C-alpha cells in the first residue's frame, strides 16, 4: 500500500513540475494582446511578434540565400507570396525565387536593406529561369541574379520579357499589396507597353536599384494598430513627371543622419 501511495505521489510531482515549466514558457513568449501576429512601427523602423516562416519551397517558388535566415514575415505576407507563386505557376511564368523577407522578430537587418523590419516586405527575383538553380548549393547562395538593365544602364536587356510584366501585374493586383518597388527603367517599360487596364501601375513605384528583383510591400494589417502606414501613393498610373525625375541629372543630397528612436516594444 505504502508503495502505491509513493508511486502516486511521484507521478503527481512529475506532472506538476512539467506543468509549471510550460506555464512559464507561455507567459514569457506570448505576443502582446495574445494576438496571433502583431506589427509595430514602420517597415524601416519596427518589428513583429508572431511572424511565420515561409516554407523553404512550395508550389511555384523556392527561397534563396537560406543562410541569411530572413524567411519570416506576417502570416498575411506568407499567404500572399504562396498565392502569387501559385498564380504565376498556373500562368506558366516560371518558378519564383524569393529572397529576403525579414528576421523572426523583425528589426533592423545587419546588411542589405533599411526596410524589411516589420514582416511586411519581400524580395522576388526577376530571374525566372529554372536552369539557374539546377546547380544550387545547399543554402541556395550561389544562384546568379542577373540585372534586367543594359550594361550601359540605358533601357532593359533581352532577358526582360512579357512574363515579367505579367508577374508584376499579378502581384500589384493582390489586395494586400500596398506597393511594389522596381527600377525606374522597368516602370518606364510598363508605362509604355501596358494597354487596357492600367490601374495596377499606380502600385508600381520607381526606386534605386531593383533591376534584378522587385520588392513587394504589404499594407498595415488591420489587426496591428501600432503599425505605421506609409504615405498613400498619389492617384494615377505614375507615368508622369515623378517618373521622368529619375532620368534627369540631379544633385545627390545627403540628408543629415537622424537619430532613430526604436519603438519601445521592439527594444527587447
To the nearest whole angstrom, how small is the minimum distance from the Cβ of residue 9 to Zn ion? 59
DSSP H helices in the chain: 2-29, 75-90, 162-172, 184-193, 241-244
DSSP letter assigned to residue 105: T
Q: What are phi and psi of 231, to 5 degrees?
A: -60, 140
CB neighbourhood size of 81 (10 A): 26
Q: Which residues pair with 180 in a beta bridge?
A: 204, 216
* DSSP-assigned letters across all residues of 110-165: SSS-S---SS-EEEEES---GGGGTT--TT--------SB-TTSSSB-TT--HHHH
To the nearest whole angstrom, how small is the minimum distance from the Cβ of residue 71 to Zn ion? 13
To the nearest whole angstrom, how small is the minimum distance from the Cβ of residue 181 to Zn ion? 7
To the nearest whole angstrom, how small is the minimum distance from the Cβ of residue 147 to Zn ion? 15
Number of residues that bind Zn ion (CB under 5 A): 2
Q: Which residue is nearest to Zn ion (CB)?
A: 215
C-alpha cell at 251: 544633385
To the nearest whole angstrom, how small is the minimum distance from the Cβ of residue 215 to Zn ion? 4
Query: Nearer Cβ to Zn ion, position 123 or 189?
Result: 123
To the nearest whole angstrom, how small is the minimum distance from the Cβ of residue 81 to Zn ion? 13
Q: How many whole angstroms from its chain centre is CA 244?
A: 27
Cα–Cα–Cα angle for 14, 15, 19, rounded to 5 degrees: 120
To the nearest whole angstrom, how small is the minimum distance from the Cβ of residue 256 to Zn ion? 25
Residues 112-171 that bind Zn ion (CB under 5 A): 123
Give the whole-angstrom CA distance, residue 61 versus residue 54: 10
Q: Which of 187, 203, 215, 217 binds Zn ion (CB under 5 A)?
A: 215
Query: Nearer Cβ to Zn ion, position 109 or 262?
Result: 109
C-alpha cell at 180: 511594389
Give the whole-angstrom CA distance, residue 104 versus residue 12: 37
C-alpha cell at 184: 525606374
Query: Nearer Cβ to Zn ion, position 100 or 189?
Result: 100
CB neighbourhood size of 156 (10 A): 19
To the nearest whole angstrom, how small is the minimum distance from the Cβ of residue 60 to Zn ion? 20
CB neighbourhood size of 83 (10 A): 16
Query: Nearer Cβ to Zn ion, position 179 or 215?
Result: 215
210 binding Zn ion? (CB under 5 A): no
Residues 37-96 that bind Zn ion (CB under 5 A): none
Question: Residues interacting with Zn ion, by CB under 5 A?
Answer: 123, 215
Amino acid at each position: 500500500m505504502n508503495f502505491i501511495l509513493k508511486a502516486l505521489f511521484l507521478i503527481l510531482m512529475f506532472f506538476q513540475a512539467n506543468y509549471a515549466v510550460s506555464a512559464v514558457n507561455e507567459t514569457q513568449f506570448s505576443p502582446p494582446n495574445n494576438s496571433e501576429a502583431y506589427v509595430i512601427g514602420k517597415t524601416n523602423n519596427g518589428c513583429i511578434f508572431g511572424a511565420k516562416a515561409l516554407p523553404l519551397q512550395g508550389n511555384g517558388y523556392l527561397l534563396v540565400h537560406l543562410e541569411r535566415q530572413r524567411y519570416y514575415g506576417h502570416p498575411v505576407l506568407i499567404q500572399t507570396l504562396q498565392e502569387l507563386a501559385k498564380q504565376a505557376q498556373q500562368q506558366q511564368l516560371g518558378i519564383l525565387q524569393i529572397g529576403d523577407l525579414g528576421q523572426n522578430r523583425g528589426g533592423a537587418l545587419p546588411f542589405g536593406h533599411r526596410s524589411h523590419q516589420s514582416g511586411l516586405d519581400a524580395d522576388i527575383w526577376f530571374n525566372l529561369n529554372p536552369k539557374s538553380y539546377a546547380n544550387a548549393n545547399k543554402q541556395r547562395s550561389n544562384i546568379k541574379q542577373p540585372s534586367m538593365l543594359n550594361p550601359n544602364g540605358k533601357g532593359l536587356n533581352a532577358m526582360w520579357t512579357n512574363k515579367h510584366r505579367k508577374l508584376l501585374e499579378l502581384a500589384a493586383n493582390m489586395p494586400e499589396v500596398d506597393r511594389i518597388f522596381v527600377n525606374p527603367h522597368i516602370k518606364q517599360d510598363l508605362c509604355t507597353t501596358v494597354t487596357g487596364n492600367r490601374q495596377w501601375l499606380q502600385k508600381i513605384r520607381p526606386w534605386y536599384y531593383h533591376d534584378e528583383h522587385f520588392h513587394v510591400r504589404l499594407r498595415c494589417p488591420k489587426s496591428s494598430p501600432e503599425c505605421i502606414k506609409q504615405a498613400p501613393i498619389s492617384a494615377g498610373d505614375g507615368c508622369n513627371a515623378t517618373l521622368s525625375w529619375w532620368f534627369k541629372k540631379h544633385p545627390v543630397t545627403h540628408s543629415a543622419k537622424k537619430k532613430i528612436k526604436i519603438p519601445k516594444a521592439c527594444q527587447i
